[in-house]
Amino acid sequence: MEVQEIVILIVTGGVAGWLAGLILRKGNIGIIGNVIVGVIGAFIGTWLFGQLDVSIGNEYVNALVASTAGAIILLLLLGLIQKKK
């Protein structure tokens, strides 16, 4: 991975994590938390969108939407795990 790709991944992950937190009203988990949730969500969302053959807009919009969707799924799963404890 080149430096530019890593920076784009971190920025997109941060925005996706922040948007997922806003949508689910999960509160502020901080910049680092947003980036972590967003980056993991990007992997989940990209895989899911690929399996469903979904594409929205250009590559940047699609990446942000997929990352946000994946981050929402991740936060929902984490919420279910925390409720069981």
Number of domains in the chain: 1
Please indicate, yes or no, if residue 47 is contained in any of the structural domains. yes
Please indicate, yes or no, if residue 85 is contained in any of the structural domains. no
List the domain range (segments joined by +) for residue 71.
3-80
Please indicate, yes or no, if residue 17 is contained in any of the structural domains. yes
DSSP letters, 35-68, are: HHHHHHHHHHHHHHHHHHT---SSHHHHHHHHHH
Question: Which residue, among 41, 34, 49, has the nearest Cα to 68 in the 3D structure?
Answer: 41
Please indicate, yes or no, if residue 48 is contained in any of the structural domains. yes
- pLDDT tens series, the chain, 85 aa: 788 888 888 888 889 999 998 998 876 778 888 889 999 998 999 899 999 998 888 888 988 999 999 999 999 998 888 777 6
Structure tokens at 45: 């969302």
